[in-house]
């Protein structure tokens, strides 16, 4: 039973959706990293539900750092963050012990944990756990920004509504990180919110695609085979609930172009090596080439919907029908951007520590 990720900087998640606390332990983090509590709070706020386009379960996400910090800086020992669960309605989840929800982990959790799992609210599989992920990711993201490395994500597509793609990536990252709803244009926000509201009225849900970018990474980060930049980011991203696809650069669109169109020609700009295009998403041979790392993540529609669905009774071993009660998101993608950014920061921080040493992110380096 493994709930840890990373090689040099290691994160371990714990807790359940309706337990007393959720949290994370960050081990291997360098001493001397500034803890910006306001910054952490802003990142948590981007993940928090917002109005009719999100679940009615709103948590304060008040966190407590109980170890690994002295004053305003990391001490270098394991850092532990706790977040208390305060808004729980466990009675809404009684039926899923017998009737698993389609698209959820109810059945697979039962098979893995032999019925001993905490099923309430999805237990350890719940998106609620991502609050702890965002909190520790914010610590590393802030440290990365102090090194000139920035991360940002926006929704490019949501059920037929589209946003423009990243253009001036540095400015676009600043823009999307300043917006509560993660898009680059007001028109896209209006159309996407309308689609989410429509799904909510129908008792249904929608998914979408996030486009993410990282700027400021040095060339030479990543390994040629099993620990490539793509494989490590994909490992982290596919660990996020609801993620069903990841592509880098042109991604699957490489199937529609010639090699002459897909290759990124090299050029010298201001005395530095650059590429004339970025179809490979800033990565060659699994290693960063100094251009922005660009990737897209597909988030599936929220599986908790209010429409009747076919399922099974595990006690009777017969087909049955399920109609959910409770509080559920008609879409999670706008909240998931904070989680994608956090996981990206965790992966990048770990890979930088592996290449340049554990003190790379410290304040004095």
Per residue in 284-325, pLDDT (tens digit) is 999 999 999 999 999 999 888 888 889 999 889 999 988 877
Q: Is residue 1 part of a domain?
A: no
- Which residue range(s) make up the domain with 225? 9-356
Q: Would you state the pLDDT for residue 109?
A: 85
Q: Is residue 94 part of a domain?
A: yes
Q: In what order do the strands lie in the sheet with 63-67?
A: 4-5, 10-15, 21-27, 79-84, 63-67
Q: Is residue 63 part of a domain?
A: yes
289 vs 328, more confident: 289
219 vs 60, more confident: 219
Distance CA 289, CA 275 (A): 9
List, for residues 130-161, the tens digit of each pLDDT value: 999 999 999 999 999 999 999 999 999 999 99
Q: Would you state the pLDDT for residue 365?
A: 58
Confidence of residue 91 (pLDDT cuts 50, 70, 90): low
Residue 27 has φ and ψ, to the nearest 5°, of -115, 145
pLDDT at 87 over 70: no
Structure tokens at 126: 């719940």
Percentage of the chain with pLDDT > 90? 72
Q: Would you state the pLDDT for residue 166?
A: 96
Distance CA 240, CA 35 (A): 25
**Cβ neighbours of residue 60 under 8 Å, at least 6 residues apart?**
86
Percentage of the chain with pLDDT > 70? 93
Mean pLDDT of all residues in 335-345 = 97
Residue 293 β-bridge partners: 214
Mean pLDDT of all residues in 52-72 = 80
Distance CA 61, CA 48 (A): 8
Confidence of residue 57 (pLDDT cuts 50, 70, 90): low
Average pLDDT across the chain, whole number = 91
Q: Is residue 4 part of a domain?
A: no
Q: Would you state the pLDDT for residue 56?
A: 55
Mean pLDDT of all residues in 111-140 = 86
Q: Domain containing 274 — which CATH number? A: 3.60.150.10
Q: Would you state the pLDDT for residue 150?
A: 98
pLDDT at 355 over 80: yes
- How many domains are contained in the chain? 1
Q: Would you state the pLDDT for residue 92?
A: 55
Q: Which of 30-39, 96-105, 329-338 comes out lowest in average pLDDT? A: 96-105
List, for residues 17-28, the tens digit of each pLDDT value: 788 889 999 999
Q: Is residue 71 part of a domain?
A: yes
Helix axes 333-356, 229-237, angle to 10 degrees: 140
Q: Would you state the pLDDT for residue 363?
A: 64
Q: Is residue 134 part of a domain?
A: yes
Mean pLDDT of all residues in 179-205 = 94
Distance CA 52, CA 85 (A): 21
């Amino acid at each position: 039973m493994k709930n840890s990720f990373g090689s040099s900087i290691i994160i371990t998640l714990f807790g359940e959706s309706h337990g007393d606390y959720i949290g994370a332990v960050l081990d291997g983090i360098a001493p001397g990293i500034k803890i910006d509590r306001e910054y952490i709070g802003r990142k948590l706020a981007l993940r928090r539900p917002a109005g009719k386009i999100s679940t009615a379960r709103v948590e304060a996400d008040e966190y407590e750092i109980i170890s690994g910090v002295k004053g305003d800086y990391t001490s270098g020992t394991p850092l532990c963050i706790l977040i208390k669960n305060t808004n729980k309605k466990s009675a809404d989840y009684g039926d899923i012990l017998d009737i698993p929800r389609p698209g959820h982990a109810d059945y697979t959790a039962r098979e893995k944990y032999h019925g001993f799992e905490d099923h309430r609210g999805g237990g350890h599989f719940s998106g609620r756990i991502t609050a702890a992920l965002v909190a520790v990711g914010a610590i590393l993201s802030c440290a990365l920004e102090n090194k000139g490395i920035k991360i940002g994500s926006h929704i490019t597509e949501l059920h037929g509504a589209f946003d423009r793609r990243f253009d001036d990536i540095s400015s676009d990252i600043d823009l999307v990180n300043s917006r509560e709803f993660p898009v680059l244009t007001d028109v896209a926000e209006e159309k996407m919110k309308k689609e989410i509201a429509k799904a909510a009225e129908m008792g249904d849900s929608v998914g979408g695609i996030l486009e993410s970018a990282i700027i400021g990474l040095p060339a030479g980060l990543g390994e040629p085979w099993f620990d490539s930049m793509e494989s490590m980011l994909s490992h982290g991203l596919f660990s996020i609930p609801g993620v069903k696809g990841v592509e880098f650069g042109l991604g699957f669109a490489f199937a529609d172009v010639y090699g002459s169109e897909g290759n990124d020609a090299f050029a010298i700009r201001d005395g530095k090596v650059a590429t004339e295009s970025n179809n490979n998403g800033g990565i060659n041979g699994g290693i960063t080439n100094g251009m922005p790392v660009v990737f897209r993540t597909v988030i599936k529609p929220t599986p908790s919907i209010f429409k009747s669905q076919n399922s099974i009774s595990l006690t009777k071993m017969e087909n049955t029908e399920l109609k959910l009660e409770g509080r559920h998101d008609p879409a999670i993608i706008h909240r998931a951007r904070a989680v994608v950014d956090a996981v990206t920061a965790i992966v990048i921080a770990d890979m930088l520590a592996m290449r340049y040493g554990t003190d790379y992110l410290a304040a004095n380096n």
